[in-house]
Structure 1
């Protein structure tokens, strides 16, 4: 595996340590500290995540036009690091939303160029493994962050703001590692700067690519923000200081599964792996709807992580495989635009259902949408 792939993985790991120290506590902070409703939590999460995914359209196209990925990735990680102090001084939901938007604009700015850079660095026959490795290291950060948050919550008597300040440190280290530890391949000779989102260039994106965009949006519509997993566990009596344990459990499974499932994607039918991922998500939703505590709750959380391991690297591999190299950044951007709109709808709908009908209804709806996506996959999937 190229050294650049490992370096990008550790860049993601450090930023995820920082982000998840904050995000694992943020839903509880908003509800218990700022008096936010479940609908408002869903709206903030949906708008923030959708913003990140929509920005990826423009950053991906921009990276194709430049023929360079690293400068935009560096700008995106820099914005992510700059947003962290804003969480530490937040005293209202409006300030939290502003911080989340800056953070997610940074994520959107770096996401598509970084994903395209992985494909530029890896050989075609190892792309599944490369995306799986980067995602696995990213997810290690996603459970280390909550572990640190739990320790500091217990040590500092639930001082949210102090913990948010500590999260600034790994974010700064992430930016430094990308700046000095990742070397981008040379731009192809004769690269001409053309607008990649012009109609004649978009026609180069084949029907197989657009099918991946559509199925990716359906997957995202079925899988709302993980903030609702944290809130479901708290509804069942999980103490505030232990709330990050939910994301730790989910991300441990995600991290352990991402690389082996990524390697499997290099040799196995993508359609079958996607279908398996949806079946696992349905099982997770059923368990989380069934109970908000005990073995059933934690089984649902573990299955949620397994679904992520099965599908997230796989979808990235499918985008890379079906898009021309010169339009790879744009392809990831458009894919994430569709997913971003789906995530916004899913998170707002999940929060509205929770407020009106209770927490179980949110997960019942997720299972129903997942079943529809499974039917669409069986009906429309091209090839074996």
Structure 2
């Protein structure tokens, strides 16, 4: 090498420069050298950058320790869904079921909206059958037919609303539409007397039929989106959904008690005025509509313009570590693509699937644990026939004026115990299964109280109703949460969102199971009545269903997936800043 070249190298070397001097700018690199420039960290410009120093044996800098100290400043998780310092004590713990504050507030908004709609339904349903039968002269056969069709439509709408929410990409909008429909149909009950006086009994029957159908249809439309949003919130927060479903069930049951009380007070204050009592039922759904609109503004109307401001451009990529060639194309592409090149370079096209492939992909998305949980719940639902069978049995051994007290005892147990028991269930899969077995045992005891001659008394009926209330507190929210824990959530490539579709599919299947349960209960009751034992066959069948459901749960816990905590996939909780 010539003396002149050696002097130039010494001049350009950073080590050869005087203290405080800067190296001269190198001439622009040719295009062919761009990839090498990107690998050397020269994508932002043709400056000369010194070679990275050799790996040091000294400890790493203080950046990781800073993160550790920040995490150490966060209170330890209390094991029940949040930081210990932030968790309120006492009764208010029932309302804090998610560790994430945002998710918890959204859940409370959903539960309160559900409670308001339950209040409205019980206000008019407390006196509606009596009014249409005694005041309008509709036969019990017609009333029963309307109720049956309305319940079927409710189950059908559950099987559709979640799918529609996934197609629209917003479950909250479908939920708001269902609440709006609930509010729109309530005044129709207050107009029954006017319709009867102007158009006659035939038109009034159709009016009552349409009003009842819209009422049940709106309930079904709300149901699947509500569960889908709750499942997504539980997954986002990283908590088990048991406590969330327990809180929702407790508040809905409280809404039933509040609605019945408001109906009784309004009916007494207005001098037994049915129309004014029905008119009051329009107020709670209006409040629910305003409440949900205020708490889900971003989900319904979209984020405000300020929130959609473009993000600042990302910093230039740093030099990759030696031996990581897979990063080179992305860095090189960023060097020459400009501000819009990086997103396009990493985008992945959505696969195009045929209808058959989509169906198979959806079925594969459901884990075996989901089908096992669904089997346990489906068998249990054969013990969940309509409460009218209890009334038919109880009226033969106690005064008819005491029959509403059976429902009151049942409801009080559910309202007071569902949420606390659901929190215990959410602690572990073992807790969940043990509580379910206790609940199955309570239902067996209740069925025996209604079926055996030794307990055919008012005391036996009250004890049986208390056992049913305890059974519902132990199993209703927990079984829904168990199935929901294994449902697929989020986006499935080639198919789309699955959260609402999974809920609708499950509700539709269980709706058919409930219909079969009531039909079978009627057949068994007729068989035992014809044999001279009374209407007790349905209760013996219900006890058998509970025993079979418990055996299924035992088998799936021991040899299946229902005993594994790792099958319930939850997001890892992030430590909150102090």
TM-score normalised to structure 2 length:
0.58
Match of 1:311 in 2: 475
Deviates further, 304-313 or 94-103: 94-103
* 2:415 counterpart of 1:260: no
* 2:229 counterpart of 1:117: yes
Distance (Å, rounded) in 1 between the aligned partners of 2:456 and 2:126: 18
Aligned 1:152-301 pairs, distance under 5 A: 152-154=266-268, 160-183=274-297, 198-229=359-390, 236-239=398-401, 244-268=404-428, 269=430, 270-289=432-451, 294-301=458-465
Distance (Å, rounded) in 1 between the aligned partners of 2:451 and 2:277: 31
**Pairwise CA RMSD:** 3.6
Q: Deviations over 1:69-110 (max 9, x none)?
A: 110011112222333334442867766554333222211111
Greater Cα radius of gyration, structure 1 or 2 = 2
Q: Deviations over 1:35-59 (max 9, x none)?
A: 426x974x65554334323322221
User: Unpaired runs of 5+ in structure 2?
Assistant: 1-95, 97-103, 194-200, 304-346, 491-497, 564-578
Deviates further, 72-81 or 97-106: 97-106
Match of 1:322 in 2: 486
1:344 paired residue among 512, 515, 523: 515
Distance (Å, rounded) in 2 between the aligned partners of 1:286 and 1:26: 33
Deviates further, 164-173 or 1-10: 164-173
Match of 2:256 in 1: 142
2:241 paired residue among 98, 115, 127: 127
Q: Note if contact 1:8-1:178 (Cα within 8 Å) is conserved in structure 2.
A: yes
Distance 1:306 1:27, change over 3 A: farther
Distance (Å, rounded) in 1 between the aligned partners of 2:114 and 2:159: 20
User: Unpaired runs of 5+ in structure 1?
Assistant: none
Distance (Å, rounded) in 1 between the aligned partners of 2:403 and 2:183: 24
Q: Note if contact 2:246-2:477 (Cα within 8 Å) is conserved in structure 1.
A: yes
Deviates further, 262-271 or 66-75: 262-271
Match of 2:15 in 1: none
Distance (Å, rounded) in 1 between the aligned partners of 2:400 and 2:277: 20
Measure how far apart 1:244 and its partner are: 4.9
Measure how far apart 1:14 and its partner are: 0.8
Deviates further, 220-229 or 156-165: 156-165
Higher relative contact order (CA 8 A, sep 6+): 1
* 2:118 counterpart of 1:16: yes
2:546 paired residue among 354, 370, 374: 370
SS at match of 2:400: coil
Distance (Å, rounded) in 2 between the aligned partners of 1:35 and 1:158: 22
Q: Deviations over 1:171-219 (max 9, x none)?
A: 22222211223356689xx998999973323321111112222222222
Q: Note if contact 1:81-1:171 (Cα within 8 Å) is conserved in structure 2.
A: yes
* 2:203 counterpart of 1:108: no
Distance 1:319 1:370, change over 3 A: closer
Distance (Å, rounded) in 2 between the aligned partners of 1:233 and 1:168: 34
Distance (Å, rounded) in 1 between the aligned partners of 2:262 and 2:358: 42
Match of 2:61 in 1: none
Measure how far apart 1:359 and its partner are: 4.3
Distance (Å, rounded) in 2 between the aligned partners of 1:295 and 1:193: 64
Q: Note if contact 1:147-1:244 (Cα within 8 Å) is conserved in structure 2.
A: no
Q: Note if contact 2:240-2:485 (Cα within 8 Å) is conserved in structure 1.
A: no
Q: Note if contact 1:143-1:247 (Cα within 8 Å) is conserved in structure 2.
A: no
Measure how far apart 1:258 and its partner are: 1.5
Q: Note if contact 1:265-1:273 (Cα within 8 Å) is conserved in structure 2.
A: yes
SS at match of 2:365: coil
Distance (Å, rounded) in 2 between the aligned partners of 1:282 and 1:23: 30
Distance 1:197 1:137, change over 3 A: farther
Match of 2:163 in 1: 61
Q: Note if contact 2:183-2:286 (Cα within 8 Å) is conserved in structure 1.
A: yes
Distance (Å, rounded) in 1 between the aligned partners of 2:222 and 2:171: 9
Distance 1:380 1:178, change over 3 A: same
Distance 1:360 1:28, change over 3 A: farther
Match of 2:172 in 1: 70
